[in-house]
Structure 1
């Protein structure tokens, strides 16, 4: 490739777990690798597009959103550097059901999974181990989407806020943190009305549960924190 990859970013996800630097390079070179850079707010791929390659964010961040028939913008996921996109689409050859947009200047590494799944005879142990990791990554993505669906159909605005803020607490290990979303993005991510969400945040503040200033939050002792559910694949 044109410049050396930062392998530490690739190792932060499941796809290349337990592979050495040399093994990572070996696998990548069999998957027709190429990179693309996107400006802030640029569309990486649109709802309905084919997505034949797995994408790995090397830098920046991306929003995955679906606009429903009523024109509501539903933010499905926010991906940071090291996260993958399109693995379900690339493996199953499914078209996208969301639009991917760069939330800031972003670089993506694309890998053709067809090279391993449909064109190569798998004989190299490193290829088989990579596909094992890919299977786990797809299971992790399916679990995330299942939990997202559960939240969208049965929880109140306060419960959704509580779960989201609790997740940020578990990620950072601190009751004080900044979230990567503005108010509208947060409402879109939680599938709630922005005004209703803002009102609920103010109620929680007035009840002494939390403090906030723009994207910075502080959860007070009285704030109920949803129990963390560790991902068993992150512990191996």
Structure 2
């Protein structure tokens, strides 16, 4: 668990004993959820930050017409509920496991509202928490920009470029099926599949199910470095 936590922003530059001290202060606890379990629901009060220790979560929102929009696909080491737990806002998304998932929950209110910040470990954690909240807000801003300004091809290009940068090579597998990808990009699945076929026919990429290969002619969006990584 400690190795997973140290890879994320929340416990950056903290030693094992400091992490354990912070976890104890926040009354941390673990929960394991079977596959296809709703961990959180739209409208719930989110008072704790969760960190995924294993498994995977889909964060989605269902609009007034019953359409499901995939907001995030989260895996090992990634946090959930940062903005809600810090600001005490109710959730506007739901979270469902796509595999058996273990989550570590942290009661950050213990530090933010009920504790006198005197210990260096507590102050360091809150510094990291501030950066993590800023990072999450930035990601949401980028997603909003993509959803209101980009054509379908641009959205596909940006998403596949992001997967290319993560993999470090032009051949990779994405963590979403076709419907999930369409929901994540806020587009119609059939129209998206047609656009992918056009891109394939134009010699931009190859694909088979979740496996993609970006060919030389495929425009790749430049990666925006995260100053906090």
Query: TM class, shorter-chain normalised?
Result: over 0.9
Structure 2: where are the runs of 5+ without partners? none
- In the alignment, the residues of structure 2 paired with residue 56 and residue 214 of structure 1 have an alpha-carbon distance, to the nearest angstrom, of 29
Q: Which residue of the other structure, out of 130, 133, 152, is the alignment partner of 1:135?
A: 130
Q: Which residue of the other structure, out of 170, 175, 181, is the alignment partner of 1:175?
A: 170
- In the alignment, the residues of structure 2 paired with residue 58 and residue 85 of structure 1 have an alpha-carbon distance, to the nearest angstrom, of 12
Q: Which residue of the other structure, out of 8, 31, 54, is the alignment partner of 2:3?
A: 8
The match for 1:198 is 193
Give the TM-score of the pair, scaled to structure 2.
0.99
Aligned length: 229
Q: Which residue of the other structure, out of 19, 36, 49, is the alignment partner of 2:44?
A: 49
- In the alignment, the residues of structure 2 paired with residue 58 and residue 215 of structure 1 have an alpha-carbon distance, to the nearest angstrom, of 24
The match for 1:3 is none
Which structure 1 residue ranges, 4+ long, deviate > 3 Å from structure 2? none
Structure 1: where are the runs of 5+ without partners? 1-5
The alignment status of 1:35 with 2:30, answered yes or no, reads yes
Shift of residue 184 of structure 1? 0.2
Shift of residue 72 of structure 1? 1.2
Q: Secondary structure at the match of 1:233?
A: coil
Q: Which residue of the other structure, out of 73, 79, 86, is the alignment partner of 1:84?
A: 79
Give the TM-score of the pair, scaled to structure 1.
0.96
Q: Secondary structure at the match of 1:218?
A: strand
1:195-234 alignment, distance < 5 Å:
195-234=190-229
1:77-156 alignment, distance < 5 Å:
77-156=72-151
Q: Which residue of the other structure, out of 12, 19, 28, is the alignment partner of 1:24?
A: 19
Instruction: Show CA shifts across 1:192-234 (max 9, x none).
Output: 0000000000000000000000000000000000011010111
**CA RMSD between the two structures:** 0.5
- In the alignment, the residues of structure 2 paired with residue 13 and residue 103 of structure 1 have an alpha-carbon distance, to the nearest angstrom, of 21
